[in-house]
């Protein structure tokens, strides 16, 4: 028997053995494609509520006429609780989220301070409410959204000079101040239609001149007016259940 015959015999035997082994193996299970895990989508509109703390500051600048005539300037710093609601809409492109939002809050911000230059007289500052209209841009990581916001702001304030110690009547003004707001925060969607947020906002307002004819030379100019808030909020997203599986 030559070498060629031996090699051919070995090859045939190996092929027959492999065929027999394959016949004894169980059939392979069919391939089933596994769909990708759905990512949460921030696209859609929402409505919600918020609560937190606010701090308002401003300077009172006036020429006092009683008991003598002199110019005085004094800063005030008032704090209190704030709370209200917000509504808005978002649109997500990749990880970027673009949105608009309106917020409306009431306030208990209120502070009475002594007048440094006039012993016995007092100043009272109040912020009754404030509103913002903003755009926001954020970066989403699935259900977490980090964002900044900015736009227009308004506040409803009142200020009182109590000159009873000088034998004068109390004078009060109220006004709506317009300005701007910048802020940012983080929002987390803990359920398909619910999200919670923590947010900081800084609002700046323009100068305002108000008449106080009894206790001053006619006017008080308010400058460096600002309002800061730290808020926690809860939002209900109208299309959250549909949006939860919309983006892959």
* pTM assigned to the model: 0.81
17 in a structural domain: no
Residue 194 phi/psi, 5-degree rounding, is -130, 140
Q: Has residue 23 got a pLDDT over 70?
A: no
10 in a structural domain: no
Q: Has residue 3 got a pLDDT over 80?
A: no
Average pLDDT over all residues of the chain = 85
pLDDT in tens, 194-232: 999 999 999 999 999 998 887 777 889 999 999 999 999
The more confident residue out of 62 and 241 is 62
The more confident residue out of 13 and 80 is 80
34 in a structural domain: no
The more confident residue out of 121 and 28 is 121
pLDDT of residue 133: 98
CA distances from 122 to 208, 215, 223 (A): 20, 11, 18
**Confidence band for 72, pLDDT divided at 50, 70 and 90:** confident
> In Å, how far from its chain's centre is CA 84?
13
Question: Cα–Cα distance between 163 and 14 in angstroms, integer?
Answer: 113
110 in a structural domain: yes
5 in a structural domain: no
Give the pLDDT mean for 99-123: 91
pLDDT of residue 235: 98
18 in a structural domain: no
8 in a structural domain: no
**Confidence band for 240, pLDDT divided at 50, 70 and 90:** low
Report residue 113 as tokens: 């301070």
Q: Is the peptide bond before 67 cis (omega within 30 degrees of 0)?
A: yes
Give the pLDDT mean for 128-133: 98
Report helix, strand or coil for 21. helix
Q: Has residue 60 got a pLDDT over 90?
A: yes
16 in a structural domain: no
Total structural domains in the chain?
A: 1
CATH of residue 159? 2.40.160.20
pLDDT of residue 55: 98
Question: Cα–Cα distance between 64 and 56 in angstroms, integer?
Answer: 24
From the list 130, 134, 86, the residue with the least C-alpha distance to 107 is 130
CB 138, CB 145: distance < 8 Å: yes
pLDDT of residue 31: 57
pLDDT of residue 244: 47
Q: Has residue 239 got a pLDDT over 90?
A: no
Could you tell me the residue range of the domain that residue 126 belongs to?
Answer: 42-243
Question: Cα–Cα distance between 114 and 161 in angstroms, integer?
Answer: 10
pLDDT of residue 70: 82
Cβ-based burial of 237 (10 A; exposed 0-12, middle 13-18, buried ≥19) = buried
């Amino acid at each position: 028997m030559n070498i060629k015959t031996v090699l051919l015999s070995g090859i045939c035997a190996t092929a027959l053995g492999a065929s027999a082994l394959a016949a004894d193996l169980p059939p392979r299970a069919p391939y089933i494609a596994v769909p990708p895990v759905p990512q949460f989508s921030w696209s859609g509109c929402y409505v919600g509520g918020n609560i937190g703390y606010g701090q308002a500051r401003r300077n009172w600048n006036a020429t006092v006429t009683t008991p003598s005539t002199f110019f005085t300037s004094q800063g005030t710093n008032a704090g209190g609780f704030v709370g209200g609601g917000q509504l808005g809409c978002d649109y997500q492109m990749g990880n970027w989220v673009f949105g608009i939002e309106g917020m409306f809050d009431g306030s208990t911000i209120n502070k009475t301070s002594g007048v440094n230059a006039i012993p016995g007289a007092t100043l009272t500052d109040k912020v009754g409410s404030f509103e913002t209209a903003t755009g926001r841009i954020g970066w989403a990581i699935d259900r977490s959204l980090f964002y900044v916001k900015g736009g227009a702001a308004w506040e409803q304030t009142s200020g009182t000079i109590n000159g009873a110690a000088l034998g004068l009547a109390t004078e009060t003004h109220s006004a709506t101040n317009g300005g701007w707001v910048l802020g940012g925060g983080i929002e987390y969607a803990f359920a398909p239609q619910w999200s919670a947020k923590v947010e900081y906002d800084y609002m700046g307002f323009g100068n305002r001149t108000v008449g106080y004819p009894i206790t001053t030379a006619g006017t008080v100019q308010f400058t460096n007016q600002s309002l800061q808030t730290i808020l926690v909020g809860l939002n209900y997203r109208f299309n959250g259940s549909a949006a939860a599986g919309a983006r892959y």
